[in-house]
Amino acid sequence: VSSVELTQAAIDRATAVDDRVKAFNSVNPEDALAQAAASDARRSVGQARGPLDGIPVSLKDVIAVRDQPLTASSKMLENFVSPYDATVTEKLKAAGAVLWGRANLDEFAMGSSTENSAFQTTCNPYDLDRVPGGSSGGSAAAVAAGEAVATLGSDTGGSIRQPAAFCNVVGLKPTYGLVSRYGLAAFASSLDQIGPFTRTVEDAAIMLGAIAGHDPRDSTSFKTDVPDYRAALSEKKGPWKLGIPKEYFGEGLDPEVGAAIEKAIAFYREQGCEIKEVSLPHTPYCLSTYYIIATAEASSNLARYDGIRYTHRSADAQDVVDLYFKSRAEGFGPEVKRRIILGTYVLSSGYYDAYYLRAQKVRTLIRQDFLNAYEQVDAILTPTTPTPAFKAGEKAADPLAMYLSDIYTIGVNLAGLPGISIPAGFTSAGLPIGLQLIGQPYAEADLLAIAHAYD
Ligand code: GLN
């Protein structure tokens, strides 16, 4: 098919279903078709730019695209149009991708259900009464519903892998530092990574190859070669040693999810993989450590939204201090405010040592747990989430219950490791189940090959 046909199909699909799925905050059909026509023109003269040329890709509405809105699903940025491209956006444009639509999220990527979006709640395409996960719920639902071939999300504590699991798609969080964060509206800078949502692991390999690589504009970007991830899928053939962390199979794991993961373990065993029990003893501290570090960084990162520059500005302020207070009070939603307050508290003098500094030390222990496990195994296999997608509204009033849905994904961010969620079957009620594979630092080629075997 031509890119115009493919892009038109994505547009038609969105026109048909997005009033129910609500994956997109905004769409740009005419612009997308013009990009597609340019791609077809390139291809007709033999100048295709590789496998992504002409493919409709949607970005989470927190990644900058020049001259397109960037709302972060927040009233604070409701009318903001980005004057520049993120590095990943530049790279996708260079690869010829058709940038189409802006995918919904929890406000500033804080949440696990997209219910924290200031504009709309995305629905799970497999059951519209249920959440698609979050915070990249729009990106996951867009791929699942056929409104885009691939999308980008961001993952700070599970925001790519958890919605991928809930929506039966592939979601990859790269190693911290592999993909540039330049042009990603920051939530927690030491944890945030951009990564792809796709239907297959092969597509994830293609997308990662397009967006990875060193960027001097991101000081935490790692200088490393970008291998041919797609070629690695067929070149790298196990058998691998896979670790099963005993702490991830205890209380709270839905039995049907557990059974699906056991099935995947049996599959790998049949392939000749060695399956070993490993221990990640600091797992019980992951959630509390994450919510100290992530909120601390968020309170600092979100200080820039001040009502003075490019953000929402209160209409009835008396003076500049009042303007600052009222703009932030009106612009931020309740979850964002909760985190700014928590983060300010853990960083304040007198509490810094007791909370923030201690959390940083525990973070080191959590990373060391994984590195110790990697002395024995190539990768770690877990469920992505303890339960399948929950009902909209079910956890909205209870932030702690919501936080628990990231229990298996959060340690990976604290340790800076790559993790992927791939489809692993359905519950008896027809809800998707995700299998998580966690890799060694910068070993995405191996991780993708292991995932590909079960795809
Ligand atoms: N659900 C987690 C949170 O609310 C993770 C979010 C994310 O990865 N962006 O912080």
| Domain of 283, in residue numbers | 1-455
* Ligand 1 atom closest to 188 (CA): 9
The answer to whether the complex's ipTM is over 0.90 is yes
What local confidence, expressed as pLDDT, does residue 18 receive? 98
Give the whole-angstrom CA distance, residue 131 versus residue 133.
Answer: 5
* Ligand 1 atom closest to 158 (CA): 8
Give the whole-angstrom CA distance, residue 337 versus residue 298.
Answer: 10
What local confidence, expressed as pLDDT, does residue 404 receive? 87
Interval 21-42 mean pLDDT:
98
Interval 103-115 mean pLDDT:
98
Domain count, the chain: 1
What local confidence, expressed as pLDDT, does residue 400 receive? 87
What local confidence, expressed as pLDDT, does residue 124 receive? 98
Contact 114, 131 (CB under 8 A): yes
Q: How confident is the model at residue 33 (pLDDT cuts 50, 70, 90)?
A: very high
pTM for this predicted structure: 0.98
Question: Whose alpha carbon is nearest atom 4 of ligand 1?
Answer: 111
What local confidence, expressed as pLDDT, does residue 401 receive? 86
- Check if 112 has its Cβ closer than 6 Å to any atom of ligand 1: yes
The residues annotated as belonging to the active site are 60, 135, 159
CA distances (Å), 337 to each of 25, 60, 294, 302, in order? 22, 21, 13, 10
Q: Inter-axis angle of helices 255-270 and 444-454, to 10 degrees?
A: 100
Q: What is the mean pLDDT of the chain?
A: 97
- C-alpha 109 to ligand 1 mean position (Å): 6
- Check if 406 has its Cβ closer than 6 Å to any atom of ligand 1: yes
Q: Tell me: the pLDDT tens digits for 332-380?
A: 999 999 999 999 999 999 999 999 999 999 999 999 999 999 999 999 9
Q: Tell me: the pLDDT tens digits for 284-325?
A: 999 999 999 999 999 999 999 999 989 999 999 999 999 999
- Check if 96 has its Cβ closer than 6 Å to any atom of ligand 1: no
Give the whole-angstrom CA distance, residue 140 versus residue 150.
Answer: 9
- C-alpha 28 to ligand 1 mean position (Å): 28
Pocket test for ligand 1, best of 63, 106, 116, 156 (most atoms within 8 A of CB): 156
421-442: burial string, b at 16+ Cβ within 10 Å, e else = bbbbbebeeebbbbbbbbbbbb
What local confidence, expressed as pLDDT, does residue 172 receive? 99
Tell me how many degrees the CA angle 444-283-347 measures, rounded to the nearest 5: 95
Interval 26-40 mean pLDDT:
98
What local confidence, expressed as pLDDT, does residue 122 receive? 98
Contact 45, 51 (CB under 8 A): no
What local confidence, expressed as pLDDT, does residue 2 receive? 97
- Check if 192 has its Cβ closer than 6 Å to any atom of ligand 1: no
Q: Tell me: the pLDDT tens digits for 251-273?
A: 889 999 999 999 999 999 999 99
Total Cβ atoms within 10 A of residue 129: 11
Q: Which CATH number fits the domain that encloses residue 250?
A: 3.90.1300.10
Give the whole-angstrom CA distance, residue 397 versus residue 85.
Answer: 36
What local confidence, expressed as pLDDT, does residue 201 receive? 98
